[in-house]
Structures are given as structure tokens and as C-alpha cells.
Amino acid sequence: MTWKIFIEPEWFNLSSPLLRRKRSAFEIEDLPGLWRVHWQLGDKTLLSTFYTRIDQACLVWGVISMLIFSIAQFTVIDWQLQAILWTGLTILGTIVMVSLSHHWRSIKPLNDVINAWVFLMLFGVGLTDLGVFLGWGQILVNLCQLWLIVDGVGYLYTGVRMRSRAFAFIGLLNLAGLAILPQIPDWQFLATGLITGISTLLMAELQWDSGDVCAHLAELQAEESKF
């Protein structure tokens, strides 16, 4: 019994695939806020997928991450101006995430996840701005490392609370990026944007595993759709 608990913790379901392709825009029931994308040419289906509110939040953060770090890599915009712009964009992304998630507040694990991400985003932005405006060298030379750690911790916590091995894996992937950065000192911002952005977009595009947390969410949203 002890060995089984060690191999298969009760909060993870090892019987479901870690990640899989979404087979069809219609494989999921109607839910409030669901986006369906179905492109068909004659009898041939070009693209058929869907985006739940969780997926939509991942899309928002994936685009924001790639935008911020790509501009930091390839432009010579003043650092203080960038700090102001990216602080505003991060706060906007946080507001969008909270808006998309207001239906989840009655489900404690999901509520905890949203609160954790709000704290992590504000914490990361706060440290970044202090580094830029106060000239804290240790922060400035480790901005990429800071955000990989922030994202890694966030995804690990999400994985545990949502009983998802996929989110936990993405968290470890972000933390593993810390070992890559010293090998490419001239491309650290681009690498950080690709790691954080693509991993987040991957979670939006693919169907990830979860325990019964998302089942409770589906039941809640199905009840809301009746009213």
C-alpha cells in the first residue's frame, strides 16, 4: 500500500494521457465562454478544436510572454519605458485571467490557483520594476532567471492543485530552462520568451490531464448554462 501511494499519488491520475491532441471542436459539451474553431473545405476538415476559459487564459499569457521577451531581445527601447509598458501589459493580462476565471471561484483548487498566479505576477513585476528603476544590478542581470522561476513555481503549484501531470511537467520544463541560459548569454531573453510562451500555448492547444477538479468545473458551468 505504501509503495502504491508513492508511485501513484492520489492527486494524480496516471491512467489518462499526459497530453493529447484535441480531436474535434465538438468533442466537448457546450460550456459558457467556450470557443469552437471548425474550418472545413468540402468534406475535408482543415482544423477542428476548442478553447475553454482555461485555454483562453493560457493563450493570453503565451502571447504576452513571447511579446515581452522578444521585444526585449531585438529592440533598443529604454529599459524604464519597457518596464512601464510591460507592467501595464502584465496587469492587463492578470485582469483578463481573473475575469475569465470568476466562474471558478466556488471550486477551491481553481480559486487557489488563480490567487497564486495573481500573487506571482505582481511579485515578478514588482521585483522587475524595482530592479529597473532603482538600478538593482542583481535583479537586472537575472531577469530571465527570475521569470523562469516565477513561471516554474506557478505551473508546479497549478499541477498539484489541479491534479495535472502536464502542468507539473511544464513547470519543471521552465525551471530546466535555467540550465540553458548560461549557454546562450546573448540570447537569454529570446530563449526565455520561447520557453515560457510556447509551453503556455502548448497547454492551450492540447488536451491535458486532470483529476476530478475539471469535472467539477464542467458540472458547475453546465449548471450555469441552464439559466
Packing angle of the helix pair 188-205, 143-161 (nearest 10 deg): 20
Exposure of 52 by Cβ count < 10 A (0-12 exposed, 13-18 middle, 19+ buried)?
buried
* Cα→Cα distances 166→2, 39, 56, 208, 211, Å: 24, 28, 17, 6, 11
Whole-model pTM above 0.85? Answer: no
Q: Which bin fits 71, alpha (ψ -120 to 50), beta or left (φ > 0)?
A: alpha
User: Quick one: pLDDT at residue 151?
Assistant: 97
User: Quick one: pLDDT at residue 51?
Assistant: 85
Report mean pLDDT in 10-residue bins for the chain, 227 residues: 39 68 71 74 75 89 96 93 96 93 78 94 96 93 96 94 89 96 95 95 85 50 48
User: Quick one: pLDDT at residue 179?
Assistant: 96
Element (H, E) at 37: strand 35-41
Query: Could you tell me which residues come within 8 angstroms of residue 153 by beta carbon, excluding any fewer than 6 positions away?
Result: 120, 171
User: Quick one: pLDDT at residue 182?
Assistant: 95
User: Quick one: pLDDT at residue 62?
Assistant: 95
User: Quick one: pLDDT at residue 175?
Assistant: 97
Grid coordinates in use for 14? Answer: 496516471
